[in-house]
Amino acid sequence: MSQPQPRASFLGITVLGDFIVSEGVEAVLDNVCRAGATAVACNPTVTAPADEKTGSFQPPDDAGSSPRVFDRPIFGKHSLWVRSGVSYHPREEFYRDSPYTPRQTNDLTEQYGSLIGDFIESAIKRGLQVFLQLGAVQPSGLLDEDRPRLPNGTLPEGRMADTGSLASDAIRAYNRAYVRDLLQEYPQVSGFRPDWPEYPCYTFGEVFQDFSPHVESRATAHGFDFPAIREGIGSLYDHLRGELAVEEVRKFNTTILNDGDETPLTTRISRHAPTVAEWLRLKAALSVDLLQHWRDAIDDAGGKDKQLVAHAFMPPYSLLTGFDFPKAAAICDAIAPKLYTMHWSLMVKFWGEPLLEKNPGLNEADVVSALVRLMDIADALPQPSIADYGYPNPDEPHPVSTASQLRKIGLVRQLVLDAAKVYPLVHGYGPVDDFERRLKLVTESGADGLWINRYGYLSDEKLRIIAEAS
């Protein structure tokens, strides 16, 4: 890894519409500018308080696991139910080639929708770049037929991220219409930040996406033997859900995760599990193809001057999600790999509990060791129990080492080289001291800059720390 360097001047903060409505356009921009931000990201959505029957909970509950609360009050509370509305009047004629219709306007559109345009205009006047943050494959009213499938054709249980199939033509048609619509409404934005242009792998079931008919057709077009991959991964999925033996977990620790083997993890997987390697290669091809679709959609809508900044899981999660950093860097202006460290601890629990439940003969310490080492989130020996992992409370540091995060950033930089900017995405959730640690390691990593997600978790004290670090 190269020696730490002072970070470049780029600093972005994500500000969703909730706080723009709650605090006001200028108050929010005063805060982010005082923190030293050079860019902001927002979404074309406005919200208002609601009840459980008519709203969704904020902050997100992350499949019922999250104890998160906002640092900043929103509508006078640190967590609450909100209902939402699109911030503008979509042009329905743009969506005629898609089975998905645009989001429908409501009273919130009329009452608060203009605030998003005001926010964008005012941010630009202050010298900030402005990006629109959108789901990469999350059309309004996502249908089951466009959701990813397991090898047996069923939907994964307990998905934490309700994303669509990367290969769905219907979703791609919606994306084209949506991008065109947004550029008509907000032509002055600097670019787009699509989230999850890959297959999220938070839960055990999500790891084994996607074997939908959409993927089958694209896999064939890309020259993959889809039936063989589906059969092989289906057998692996079944094996892990009831037939996994203690000896296999220990062999995994000493072969795939062999600390003395300096070859890349992908090479070790290819050596010991060629069908798995081919499946991961298919996922990567789908992700790259989707990112190219995004670039083409932006260009075709008159946005050739607009930036494309892709969110991504960090390595080695990216092997399972399909995000291909070198090829993505050839398409994107920048990549924002996520340092969402509270999720990494949770994923040990989300992967480990099903393995132990379905395979009661396994040794818990062996499973935990394998998962923590595979995820590369610790430097010392892992804690031996699943109970030692999970979602940290608001006052708990995130149990991921500084060195681990620096290794991940360093690997991304090696993979991307100078083909695109690398802006690690730091999450604002957590106690002040731990947030400061996680922020400073990025500023010292040699990355081109950073994004912070999101404004609601940035207390005045955290904003001060950001300003001092910038």
Name the nearest CA neighbour of 161 among 63, 64, 79, 68: 63
Taking 70 as the threshold, does the pLDDT of residue 8 lie above it? no
Which pLDDT value is given to residue 60?
Answer: 87
- What is the average pLDDT value for the chain, to the nearest integer? 94
Which pLDDT value is given to residue 206?
Answer: 97
Q: Is residue 358 part of a domain?
A: yes
Which pLDDT value is given to residue 63?
Answer: 77
Which pLDDT value is given to residue 85?
Answer: 97
Q: Is residue 2 part of a domain?
A: no
**Confidence tier at 99 by pLDDT (50, 70, 90):** very high
Q: Is residue 1 part of a domain?
A: no
- Total tally of structural domains belonging to the chain: 1
**pLDDT tens across 225-274, in order?**
999 999 999 999 999 999 999 999 999 988 888 777 778 888 888 888 99
Which pLDDT value is given to residue 158?
Answer: 85
**Confidence tier at 7 by pLDDT (50, 70, 90):** very low
Taking 80 as the threshold, does the pLDDT of residue 341 lie above it? yes
SS (H, E, C) the chain: CCCCCCCCCEEEEECCHHHHHHHCHHHHHHHHHHCCCCEEEECCEEEEECCCCCCEEECCCCCCCCCCCCCCCECCECCEEEEEEECCCCCHHHHCCCCCCCCCCCHHHHHHCHHHHHHHHHHHHCCCEEEEEEECCCCCCCCHHHCCCCCCCCCCCCCCCCCCCCCCHHHHHHHHHHHHHHHHHCCCCCEEEEECCCCCCCCHHHHCCCCCHHHHHHHHHCCCCHHHHHHHHHHHHHHHCCCCCHHHHHHHHHCCCCCCCCCCHHHHHHHHCHHHHHHHHHHHHHHHHHHHHHHHHHHHCCCCCCEEEEEEECCCHHHHHCCCHHHHHCCCCEEEEEECHHHHHHHHHHHHHHHHHHCCCCCHHHHHHHHHHHHCCCCCCCCCCHHHCCCCCCCCCCCCCHHHHHHHHHHHHHHHCCCCEECCEEECCCCHHHHHHHHHHHHCCCCCEEEEECHHHCCHHHHHHHHHHC
Which pLDDT value is given to residue 379?
Answer: 87
**Confidence tier at 5 by pLDDT (50, 70, 90):** very low
Which pLDDT value is given to residue 64?
Answer: 81
Taking 90 as the threshold, does the pLDDT of residue 143 lie above it? yes
**Percent with pLDDT over 90 in the chain:** 88
**pLDDT tens across 294-313, in order?**
999 999 999 999 999 999 99
**pLDDT tens across 34-78, in order?**
999 999 999 999 999 999 988 899 998 887 888 999 999 999 999
Which pLDDT value is given to residue 65?
Answer: 83
Taking 80 as the threshold, does the pLDDT of residue 399 lie above it? yes
Q: Is residue 5 part of a domain?
A: no
Q: Which two tokens stand for residue 52?
A: 């459980």
**pLDDT tens across 76-94, in order?**
999 999 999 999 999 999 9
Average pLDDT over residues 348-369: 95
Instruction: Say which CATH number the domain at 226 has.
Output: 3.20.20.80
Residues with Cβ within 8 Å of residue 71, at least 6 apart in sequence: 78, 428, 456, 457, 458, 459, 462
Which pLDDT value is given to residue 47?
Answer: 96
**pLDDT tens across 153-209, in order?**
999 988 999 999 999 999 999 999 999 999 999 999 999 999 999 999 999 999 999
Distance CA 63, CA 51 (A): 19
Q: Is residue 436 part of a domain?
A: yes
Q: Is residue 3 part of a domain?
A: no
Domain that holds residue 373: 10-469
**Confidence tier at 2 by pLDDT (50, 70, 90):** very low
**pLDDT tens across 410-443, in order?**
999 999 999 999 999 999 999 999 999 999 999 9
Which pLDDT value is given to residue 446?
Answer: 94
Q: Is residue 14 part of a domain?
A: yes
